[in-house]
Amino acid sequence: MPALVALVVVTVVHLVAQGVAPGGVLADLTQVLLMPLLAWLLLTTARLPRSRLVRLTLLALLLSWLGDTLPRFVAEGSAAGFGLMLGCFLLAQIAYAAALAPFVGRSIVRTRPALVVPYVLALVVLVAVTAGGAGAMLPAVVVYGLAIVTMAVLATGLDRVATVGAIVFLVSDALIALRAFADVELPLHSVLVMLTYVVGQGLLVAAIAHRDRTAQPSPA
């Protein structure tokens, strides 16, 4: 399908650009195309009329696109830019959580509560590692961490693809936090951030589209 082909091609070009010239024109241009292409993929694979699940997922993708785009209009590396990114992605996580909330009865919260513990421990460890460098932004980091962990736990109520996608998405955000607040820089760090970002959201979108296609339509 054209949307999937376009997404794969742009993702590969973006990852190569991030590896060769991070922050360059090609890397920037391809990054702002990623979420619109994911939205296109969702629109072409979900059924009509658009369900609440799909509408909220499209909102999450729009907010993610704003998180990719708006920081480019302020000084590079500024606190304002980071704040814009964090705020947009916080709202995106809330939108995803709202989309997935109806599936809480099938999630590990209800079926296997003990499995929530690793998610909570991951959040505690990440906050502990980044607390020293977060400074005044620590409360915002904690709130964001709670939002994405909530989203990831709720994703377990959809299916395994969504579960893996949410965890990979969480890893992407953890890599950003480690670099921003703990001075942890892995080899090809930007490439890893974007790879996990696209794969994580791509798996979430795939699982959501599949659920939407197989769900019984609501009565008129």
Residue-range definition of the domain harbouring residue 185:
2-214
User: Considering only 34-48, 71-85, 168-182, which range has the smallest mean pLDDT?
Assistant: 71-85
Give the dihedral sign, CA 130/151/73/186.
positive
In angstroms, rounded to a whole number, what is the distance separating the alpha carbons of residues 132 and 107?
Answer: 34
pLDDT the model gives residue 216: 59
User: Over 60: is that where the pLDDT of 184 sits?
Assistant: yes
What is the Cα 37 distance to its own chain's centre?
14
Tally the domains of the chain.
1
220 lies in some domain: no
In angstroms, rounded to a whole number, what is the distance separating the alpha carbons of residues 60 and 64?
Answer: 6
DSSP single-letter state for residue 187: T
Average pLDDT over residues 189-193: 95
Using a cut of 0.75, tell me whether the model's pTM lies above it.
Answer: yes
207 lies in some domain: yes
Average pLDDT over residues 179-197: 94
219 lies in some domain: no
pLDDT the model gives residue 217: 52
The encoded tokens of residue 115 equal 């499995």
